[in-house]
Amino acid sequence: MPHALIVVQDDDVRERLAQAVRSEAFTVSLAGDVEAGLSHMGDSPPDLLMMDLCFRDGSAVDLLEEAREAGVGSSILVGPGGDESPEESLRRNVAGFLADPFEPEHLRPILDEVARASGESEEIREARKRIEEGRFGYLIGSSPPMRRLYDLLSRVAPSHASVFISGESGCGKEVVARTIHDLSRRRRTPFLPVNSGAISPTLMESMIFGHEKGSFSGATSRHRGYFEQADGGTLFLDEITEMPAELQVKLLRVLESGEVVRVGAEKPIQVDVRVVAATNRVATQAIEEGSLREDLYYRLKVLHIAVPPLRDRIEDVPLLAEALLDEISKREGARKSLGDEVLAVLGEYGWPGNVRELKNALYTAYLLSDGVEIQSDSLPDEVRGGIPAGPGAQMVHIPVGTSIREAERRLILTTLAHLEGRKTQTAEVLGVSVKTLYNRLHDYGYMPDAGGDAEDD
């Protein structure tokens, strides 16, 4: 069903437009000023934007520019009747001008055209058909948070806009990015995932933007960077906050110009790449700490998608567990099943490591179970007697008035102690990279026990 955003200051005009648009089988969002309109645009890009010629609180040009970036199909200016016409700077970016007072039949041809143009692709229609089965692309779940996510992805995927994905470690941000790609017009072009935290800072510029032969010691041949390799497709930059600040500046230039310059080169190369970035950190906190440039964040966050943690959709655990166990069974070559007792235990745990932790727990249980039905005593100890399920689960009590730095220190050290010094698992539970965890421990002057530093098995 096509969606319209109506940003009109006059209450009467706004309601009459909404009634006329709803009568043509559109869903509608309403806003009375530029700020509210921009907020709605960020939540879900509409197929049609209807807006005033001018606003008391901002510029119509700003709203139109945001609509263009979000891939809105059509924009209509609404104004008083008579001989008045919109300024030429606005007219170039809109599909039409609707004079008020208007009759519903004046709108019908416009709405018919928008409805045809916004028709969902076959891929999205097929994906929607599987929602009742608890699946959407590569995503699994039928809980309300996931259904909201599916609806947003259906609207976001067809656009050309950059997307910023946030969510805890292990919740499936790359799966969301791949789903966006596969439901877009770029689905037959490359999808290139890049973990910014796994690349050495000294090599990152060369890996992302490419280099010319002889541009530095060891550059024995020309290298096409990730942007060139993903040309025409989608580049997924995970852990964007791990990218050095000087490279974030260059990334911003690429996003604004559509051109990359290899290390050691002078001539820019034109690329057509949709960038999807992700982080497991709170973006505003990362900006305050200097690990994410504010201008880059707002350039990437044309559209923002927050992936829900598993504890907030605990009802999806049985469906997820069955799907993950199917994958494990195929890989190992023998089919095993989950009994009701095991499913009950899985549903009682809080899954701080999210879907990744669920998959690892099932793999452990699969390998340790002797029979064809997995028993609960084969699950990891922390799952059988660990963190309760639900968003209100607490591990550390922090008094009111504690500084953020001290609260973070307590949480990290308590979690590390609870997990017996296993740093990789601690990083996953806390939703940070291992590199970030080590940096924090260094700041705290953390020293392992004399017996040595405990690592993950």
Secondary structure (H, E, C), 46-99: CCEEEEECCCCCCCHHHHHHHHHHCCCCEEEEEEECCCCCCCHHHHCCCCEEEE
**Highest-confidence segment of 45-54, 65-74, 349-358:** 349-358
Can you give the pLDDT at residue 452? Answer: 39
Pairing of strands 163-166, 373-374: unpaired
For residue 278, give the H/E element and its range. strand 274-279
Share of the chain above pLDDT 70, in %: 87
Lowest mean pLDDT, pick from 160-164, 281-285, 439-443: 439-443
Under the banding of pLDDT at 50, 70 and 90, the label for residue 100 is confident
**Residue 181 near residue 275, CB atoms below 8 Å:** no
* Average pLDDT for 88-111: 69
**Residue 169, token pair as written in the block:** 């470690």
* Average pLDDT for 152-167: 88
pLDDT in tens, 339-396: 888 999 999 888 988 999 999 999 999 999 888 999 888 998 888 875 555 444 444 5
Under the banding of pLDDT at 50, 70 and 90, the label for residue 55 is confident
Can you give the pLDDT at residue 92? Answer: 47
Topology of the domain covering 394-457: Arc Repressor Mutant, subunit A (1.10.10)
Is pLDDT at 82 greater than 50 in this prediction?
no
Share of the chain above pLDDT 90, in %: 37
**Residue 93, token pair as written in the block:** 């970016």
Under the banding of pLDDT at 50, 70 and 90, the label for residue 400 is low
Q: C-alpha distances in angstroms, 370 versus 25, 121, 329, 373, 375?
A: 56, 46, 14, 8, 9
Is pLDDT at 86 greater than 60 in this prediction?
no
pTM, full prediction = 0.63
* Average pLDDT for 394-412: 70
Topology of the domain covering 312-384: Helicase, Ruva Protein; domain 3 (1.10.8)
Q: What is the DSSP track for 305-374? A: EEPPPGGGGGGGHHHHHHHHHHHHHHHHTS--EE-HHHHHHHHHB--TTHHHHHHHHHHHHHHH--SSEE
CATH code given to domain 124-306:
3.40.50.300
Is-same-fold flag (124-306; 312-384)?
no
pLDDT in tens, 294-321: 999 999 988 899 999 999 999 999 999 9
Is pLDDT at 238 greater than 80 in this prediction?
yes
Is pLDDT at 53 greater than 80 in this prediction?
no
**Highest-confidence segment of 186-200, 280-294, 314-328, 372-386:** 314-328
**Residue 361 near residue 387, CB atoms below 8 Å:** no
Alpha helices by DSSP H, 88-244 = 88-91, 104-117, 122-129, 144-156, 173-182, 201-209, 226-229
**Residue 240 CB: number of other CB atoms within 10 A?**
27
For residue 4, give the H/E element and its range. strand 3-7
Is pLDDT at 451 greater than 50 in this prediction?
no
Under the banding of pLDDT at 50, 70 and 90, the label for residue 433 is confident
Q: What is the DSSP track for 405-431? A: HHHHHHHHHHHHHHTTT-HHHHHHHHT
Compute the distance between CA of residue 408 and CA of residue 307 in angstroms, rounded to an integer.
23
Q: Where are the domains of the chain?
A: 3-117, 124-306, 312-384, 394-457
Q: Hunting for tokens 């139109």 — which residue is that?
A: 64
Q: Which residue, among 25, 49, 15, 13, has the nearest Cα to 108 in the 3D structure?
A: 25
Who contacts 222 (Cβ-Cβ below 8 Å, separation ≥6)? 210, 211, 212, 213, 262
**Residue 334 CB: number of other CB atoms within 10 A?**
9
Of 3.30.360.10, 3.40.720.10, 3.40.50.2300, 3.40.1190.20, the CATH number of 3-117 is 3.40.50.2300
Q: Hunting for tokens 């200097």 — which residue is that?
A: 290
**Mean predicted lDDT score pLDDT of the chain:** 83
Can you give the pLDDT at residue 294? Answer: 94
* Average pLDDT for 111-128: 71
Under the banding of pLDDT at 50, 70 and 90, the label for residue 399 is low
pLDDT in tens, 174-186: 999 999 999 987 8
| 3-state secondary structure (DSSP) of residue 178 | helix
Is pLDDT at 457 greater than 70 in this prediction?
no
Is pLDDT at 84 greater than 70 in this prediction?
no
Is pLDDT at 18 greater than 60 in this prediction?
yes
Compute the distance between CA of residue 327 and CA of residue 178 in angstroms, rounded to an integer.
18
Who contacts 384 (Cβ-Cβ below 8 Å, separation ≥6)? 345, 376, 377
